Amino acid sequence: MSKPDTAAVGDAANTAQRDAAVPPKKSAPSNLVMRVAAALVLVPLALGAAYTGGMFWTALVTVVAVGLYLEWLMVVGEARTASVGTAGALAVAVAGICCAFGLIDVAMVVLALGLVAVTALAAGRRAWVAAGFVYACAAELASVLVRFDTTEGWRALVLVFLVVWASDIGGYVAGRSIGGPKLAPRVSPNKTWAGAIGGFAASLAAAAGWSLAGAGGLVALLAMAAVLSVVSQLGDLGESAVKRRFGVKDSSHIIPGHGGLLDRLDGYVAAIVFAAFVGLLRGGLDGVGRGLLVW
């Protein structure tokens, strides 16, 4: 055996000894485990704040709306302009304070001024910056208005929660277990028709359960859940399209297993804005929940 061969054998032996001495790394927790763990924290927080209502719910909604706006700026590449983020976040925060005291009209004026400010301050992509600010403001106002109804606000808000969560869970389970044709491969390659149908069916089941619990008539809640499930899934696809447009995978990594607030709440934002719009048309400013549930 030549010297080079002897050296190679020695190196291999040393490498094997080092590998044996180093304990194997523990595998990282699966994405599903992280998603479940995050849900165990976030779901009680959302339900608790929603049930309490008033300033508690408005405070949570306002913090989330600020986060949605700032994440949107990161996605579209405008976070580098500090004045745009500061002006928008400040406007959303002040509007939240106004909402906490029932001053919805003042909040809308503040947000309108905020829209003018962020659009003027944007260094580029002003339309995208404005769209992100409107998106965050719509999420904030809609969430507050649905809960603002003192008689049916809680039940209406929980209906939206249940539909969105059931659509997400049902879609995830059905998509993973069944697979099949893609729903919108150019926008979101992982979503399938099986997942969309599974999420739709799960949302109907959740609405039926909420109706049996006394939240409203079965037919009305099933019809509303069907529409909200579709709207929620479209909101999910819309957010995916924005991220794909700017080559971004996750809006942030603030929520383990879920990505960012935009990633987690895209379906909720679409659903709550639609729900608030329907409730406002039918029940007025102080009866959004009734307008949504009572038909």
Spatial separation of the C-alpha atoms in residues 267 and 229, rounded to whole Å: 9
Beta bridge partners of 184: 188
Contacts of residue 232, Cβ cutoff 8 Å, sequence gap at least 6: 163, 164, 167, 203, 267, 268, 270, 271
Per-residue pLDDT of 265-281, as tens digits, reads 999 999 999 999 999 99
Q: Which residues of 181-203 are buried (b: 16+ CB within 10 A; e: fewer)?
A: ebbbeebbeebbbbbbbbbbbbb
Please provide the size of the chain in residues: 295
Q: What is the pLDDT of residue 113?
A: 98
188 three-state secondary structure: strand
Spatial separation of the C-alpha atoms in residues 73 and 79, rounded to whole Å: 5
Contacts of residue 24, Cβ cutoff 8 Å, sequence gap at least 6: none
Residue 285: half-sphere exposure toward Cβ, Cα within 13 Å: 7
Q: How confident is the model at residue 256 (pLDDT cuts 50, 70, 90)?
A: low
Per-residue pLDDT of 132-144, as tens digits, reads 999 999 999 999 9
Query: Of 98-107, 168-177, 197-206, 242-251, which gets the smallest average pLDDT?
Result: 242-251
Angle of helix 193-212 relative to helix 153-178, nearest 10 degrees, comes to 150
Contacts of residue 33, Cβ cutoff 8 Å, sequence gap at least 6: 257
Helices (H), 101-217: 104-121, 126-148, 153-178, 193-212
DSSP state of 24: P
Per-residue pLDDT of 217-254, as tens digits, reads 999 999 999 999 999 999 999 999 999 999 888 777 77
DSSP state of 67: H
Burial of 220 (0-12, 13-18, 19+ CB in 10 A): middle
Give yes or no for residue 160 having a pLDDT over 70: yes
Spatial separation of the C-alpha atoms in residues 135 and 143, rounded to whole Å: 12
In the block, tokens 């794909």 appear at 244
Q: How many CB atoms lie within 10 A of CB 29?
A: 12
Spatial separation of the C-alpha atoms in residues 170 and 167, rounded to whole Å: 5
Q: How confident is the model at residue 15 (pLDDT cuts 50, 70, 90)?
A: very low
More confident: 113 or 253: 113
Q: CA gyration radius for the chain?
A: 24
